[in-house]
Chains A and B, each alone.
Chain A
Amino acid sequence: MKTPLITGLGTVSPNGLGTEAYWAAALRGESGIGPITRFEPDGYPGRTGGEVKDFNPKEHLPSRLLPQTDHMTRLALVAAEEALADAGIDPEELPDFAMGVVTAASAGGMEFGQREMEALWSKGGAYVSSYQAFAWFYPVNTGQISIRHGLRGASSAVVTEQAGGLDAVAKARRHIRQGTPQMLAGGVDSALCPWGWLCMSRSGRVSAVENPSRAYVPFDIEASGYVPGEGGALLVLEDVEAAVRRGVDKPYGAVAGYASTFDPRPGTGQEPGLRRALEMALEEARITAADVDVVYADACGVPELDRLEAEVLAGVFGPRGVPVTAPKTMTGRLLAGGASLDLATALLSLRDQVVPPTVNISRPAHGELIDLVAGEPREARLTNALVLARGYGGFNSAMVVRREA
């Protein structure tokens, strides 16, 4: 079975626009979480979020795209452009149908949708934009990226809440095996508008803590839920032969293993699926727990879910058996974008042989179970990185990326 290479990264994050800016901030432990400024958060239970700062879409995108795109699509288009440039791919030079796009989505273009629903209900149906039909829908990022770069290969969009950022990459890998040699895959997401915020707060998992450095502290005894953020990453995946043919000598790594599982119905007393996903991903990567050098945790921030994850990690790797990190403590959870950003971060850590820290942890809740890389980055010999992601409702995904010597 072929293990496709990752040859390009594009990143947008609350603590850095662009891969290198993000990575430098992550290593400095610099958080992008702060008070919500996009709208007036008074009256909502949570008021803290991870916003992408200083993003002026006019500087990045042609003006004709602005009226027809939600904020999250603009961010996705910027990440796509960076990923292709980083991979050194000029789509115009590719044969027909050689490259496709798979993105993960959670709720589509929520802010765009809110504006159009406002027009519908306050003024009437005739005031709804002619762009609404596609600006909000789940695969909008796939469609807009495909059009902008002329990518006509197999393309799709997946929705598995916060696990989608890995599932999209796994689906892209499948398209490569089926004959589309190059894929752009991942998630970039945002729902930072009042309507999106209200919906997200109904998950019961959004932190009500206002202090930005205390609001999202997974694996800490003060854990109180998570902070929603925006952003994500897109990755260029490539068939090995295609990459060799065009002279790629330093890929970020290979997608070595992946699995996804679903939890049993709550209350049945059966074991949740996270451990199974993890073990199946290792099996597919043909490695054992001892070969894993770092784990990017899902780190939900909900105490019982943190405990479950810590127990699974201790069960598989032994107590404190592997360095565990959650750089998403600097960004918040990015809906469908979060796991893709973790994957990009994992690849950067393989490149630079350093693990970025989990920030703001003052009193670890599971110190006997997991070795959390807290406060400072940690240099280490890294060959295999494991990324875990869970989606609301019971979705579990695990992916192993391997450094290519």
Chain B
Amino acid sequence: MAIVQDKLSPDSAFALTNKAKRSDRFSGGIGMLRRLLVSDYFVLYLTLLFFLVASIFYPTLSNPASITNQIQNFWPLLAVAIGQTFVLIIGGIDLSVIAVMGITSVAGALVMAENLDPAFFDKSPVWGSLMTEAGGVLAGNPLAVPAAVLTMLLIGTFIGWLNGVAITRFNLAPFMVTLVTSTFFAALALWLTQSRNISGIPEAYVTLGKGDIVSIYLGAKLTPDIARRDILPFITYPFMIAAGLAVVAQFLLSRTVFGRRMFSIGTNRKAAEVSGVPTQSVIIRVYMFCGFCAAMASVLYSGRLEIGQPSFPNNLLLDIIGAAVIGGTSLFGGKGSIRGTFFGVAFFVLLLNILNAMRLSPFIIDAVKGAFILVAALLDIIRTRVANQEQRV
């Protein structure tokens, strides 16, 4: 080694020494752990490990029906978490997504619902105009469902625009702005419906929330008396919608100037502005996209429940932000990916299922979820440090 080093230039010698150091760092168990930790697939590995360990104690978790059930629970959460990931990447936060889901769910139902009971809704301020005994404004019309979905997406995007404009033009804190819009639109949804769910949702809309495109049967042979519970959903409409959204989001983030601008704003907004990035326009569009994703999630959630639902539980917000953070999205901005959020949602859905399987009280479940998000945030700090060290070396 000494002879070889004598023949090298000082720069080459320095590089070789570093390579040796790096090789030393990555050798053995610690090295493997470091490689694992900085890997983009770290959360996926953790999810798989968690699944394997949990399956030992709860074998039912690994049966095909349970796995497909967990996958079906995955898509609506992914849809809304994608939008939140975008907002977190630019260093913001959107607390209004739950309210957006509520108001868009109601708005969609006001367009397409059939047969509304006056005993439930006659005190609604829109009874007689947007709501009648026949249903919503387009009840029975073949275009009711597409019009309802379009209305939902437009309203979600509009609320996102409101958030973005308030944050950029008036220089208000995202936390405060989205909290205010959340309160306002949650109250509006309850006022419009007088706290009632709107049923009478058309079948075509329900299909969007839980319809199968391809189903599978994993039995020994195909017989006419297969129980419905043994036919498992494989490719579903929620999968197509959420996966499509994820592909578009990933493309926007990784292949467009818009995506690069998002990261630059999240890393340092002032520096981005000085560099000529149109920060206001980018921030507004990001919040609009987040509202759009929340509306899309609302389609999936309300479709599968077959109701226009004015209020979604607030602790769902913990799941949304938690999934993004577990997936490696930084709460300080400038860092995150759709792939990471995908893995984060998978981890979160699995975690919830395991906690449910353990029959824990909801208080403990929420505490454990909170602890996992904290651990994820700490892990993120350590991963960043390790990655920075590797780069310096």
Q: Do A and B bind each other?
A: no
| A contact residues vs B (CB 8 Å cutoff) | none
| B contact residues vs A (CB 8 Å cutoff) | none
